[in-house]
Structure 1
Amino acid sequence: MFDEMDELASDYDQRIKQARESEGLSQEELAMEINEKASLIRKLEHGDMLPNSKVQRKLEKKLDITLTEASSDEEEWSGGGESGGLTLGDMVKRKD
């Protein structure tokens, strides 16, 4: 389940603003077109708020952008195992 999840891009606010401006839309016009409040668009563009998944999908569809970055398996897990680091077995003491 989590393997297929993408993380919100760190520059999501800039992506929204640049795409809106390139479409020639004001914040109010964009809000009206995706049936949201203009104050929400302002907060998103200033990075004061993260879009929920519903708003994210609307923005991506309307502005033809992607607000996520695919996560890399290499960055997700850097635990022990064959790499020589500690494992859970190294830390747990059994009571026999």
Structure 2
Amino acid sequence: PAIGRASQAPHPKYNAENFIYNQKTDTYTCPEGHKLTSNQSHYKTRNYTFKQYKTKACKGCPVRSLCTKAKNGKIVQRSEYAPYIEANAHRVTQNKQRYKQRQALVE
């Protein structure tokens, strides 16, 4: 699912989907190369849980105004369902013809 408008960065290059997740270290890397880490706390919403990732590097980052308007720096949230969403997106890109066929109307 797409990210809501309110969660998008002032410049599209710095939207959360452009941050790279490393499963082994459980960290994100921003487009500027800074590591965002989690405090390992799980937060709960009505329908799912998520973890938050942030870095202290935001304070001195020269492109901060392009990345976030938040006072305390950029926060990336990772849903418990993120691995499944990413796996599905990968399957769709690998089998475009099959998914195009599935979208066809049946009469």
TM-score (normalised: structure 1):
0.25
* Structure with max Cα Rg: 1
TM-score (normalised: structure 2):
0.24
Larger RCO, structures 1/2 (Cα 8 Å, 6+ apart): 1
Structure whose residues are more often strand by fraction? 2
